[in-house]
Structure 1
Amino acid sequence: MEPQTINPMANILLVEDDEDLAELVLMHLKFQGHKVTRVARCGDALKLYQQQVFDLLVLDRGLPDGDGLDICHQLRQQKNWTPVLMLTARDSEMDKVDGLEAGVDAYITKPFSVLEFQARVRNILRRVSQVSVSSVDVEFNNTAMNFGLLKITPELHQVSLDDKDVVLTATEFTLLKFLASRPGRVYSKDELLGHVWNTEHSGYHHTVCSTINRLRTKLKLPSDEHHFIQTVWGVGYKFQPYQ
């Protein structure tokens, strides 16, 4: 049986110190057709990032030389937007919030099913490689989008507000770019799940809500009451530039 992938030969870094789990994850990533490098320490992972470009980071949290979130923090501070799939035994709501705030794109708690893991990897790689928008006839290109104080530059994966950089995760950036490409157009949670997360599973509605809330917080000036991402009650969300 041939492995099927969305992004053939994606270059993936696995940071996991549990030998048995690392072997299982390695096997399934390679089955999907990916190139995988595995290390067991934070320091080794950060050194590799100075030498290579990776398409995905699969990251354990409890590592021998520190918290895996420290890797994510450092990468985001360096403007590195490699998507991060966090594997962890910590399943409290606060732990998940900490991960999202650090820039984690997806979170799987141990123990997890192989099918769920494979699906998460496929969805992340699909999401960052391209956003499917054919059904709403939206064109994505690398042209900078200017909305007064807000500037979105897809080619550089940059967002600035009032001339200050706004640090977004890969998912947050994709969602913002998608909404901003059709200002005023209202999208339901199901539509956003389909176009941004590439899933039709309504059980992930909370993921849409939490990502929207983080975007609102990051795109808000203390002295300005305007919200670029607005809720249309009973319908969904829209991007609203200054009037």
Structure 2
Amino acid sequence: MALAVTEAEPKKAIHFASRYLDSDASHSQSDFCGAQELVRSINEEKRLRPTPSALVVEDDPDIALALQDLLEFEGFHVDCAPTCRQAFASIAENTYDVVLLDLGLPDGDGSSILEGLQVSHPALPVIVLTASNRDLEPLPAFAHLTKPWIRRELCNVLHKAVGTTSTLNVQ
């Protein structure tokens, strides 16, 4: 059985190749060499491509972890900040390609972070993720998504914000 993989699905390809080679099925030497070559080429492509970075500003640890896992799977370096204070400190110390921002934070309204970023980093895309039913349209964000978000929609918006493509078609 030959391994056929498209460029758009490197993570799926690695997962498939490792599961295929670990399975009980008999494999030819060419299957094994093809899988090794695939993994080598994907790793080289990853090494040459800069890793986009994201700041997740979310006070709920379960949601923050879910976002971190999803974004890391999508190829992002992720930092998390559960408060406005920690978000401002992270932004001052690091460079991010995108910010995912909850509005309801324990030490203030996340919109203050958005307003600060409009002044200090006007080109930085901010994706507002909130359970709030308040009118989000006046907020000058790249996108507004209401919790619970749809993973595919979030990934599409995220990659559009940073100009990359999703590494896997997320359901």
Structure 1 residue ranges (4+ consecutive) displaced by more than 3 angstroms after TM superposition: none
Q: Equivalents in 2 of 1:3, 1:45: separation in Å?
A: 33
Structure 1: 5+ residue stretches without partners: 130-243
Give the TM-score taking structure 2 as reference length.
Answer: 0.65
Corresponding residue of 1:109: 146
Corresponding residue of 2:161: 124
The answer to whether the aligner puts 1:96 opposite 2:136 as a matched pair is yes
Following TM superposition, by how much is the alpha carbon of 1:122 offset from its aligned partner in structure 2, in angstroms?
1.0
Q: Equivalents in 1 of 2:133, 2:152: separation in Å?
A: 19
The 8 Å contact of residues 11 and 56 in structure 1, kept in 2 or not, is answered as: yes
Larger Rg: 2
> Per the alignment, in what secondary structure is the counterpart of residue 11 of structure 2?
coil
Following TM superposition, by how much is the alpha carbon of 1:79 offset from its aligned partner in structure 2, in angstroms?
4.6
* Between structures 1 and 2, the one with greater strand share: 1
Q: Which AA in structure 1 matches 2:136?
A: K
Corresponding residue of 1:24: 66
Whose relative contact order is higher, 1 or 2, with alpha carbons under 8 Å and at least 6 apart?
Answer: 2
Q: Equivalents in 1 of 2:60, 2:138: separation in Å?
A: 22
Cα RMSD for the two superposed structures: 2.2
Show CA shifts across 1:183-241 (max 9, x none): xxxxxxxxxxxxxxxxxxxxxxxxxxxxxxxxxxxxxxxxxxxxxxxxxxxxxxxxxxx
Corresponding residue of 1:11: 53
Structure 2: 5+ residue stretches without partners: 1-9, 14-45, 165-171
* Between structures 1 and 2, the one with greater helix share: 2
Q: Equivalents in 2 of 1:79, 1:108: separation in Å?
A: 21
Percent identity reads 31
Show CA shifts across 1:74-109 (max 9, x none): 1112254210000011234xx21232xxx2110000
Structure 1 residues 8 and 108: alpha-carbon distance in aligned structure 2, compared to 1, 3 A threshold: farther
Task: Spell out the pairing of 1:220-239 with structure 2 (5 A cutoff).
Answer: none
> Per the alignment, in what secondary structure is the counterpart of residue 162 of structure 2?
helix
Report the number of matched residues: 121
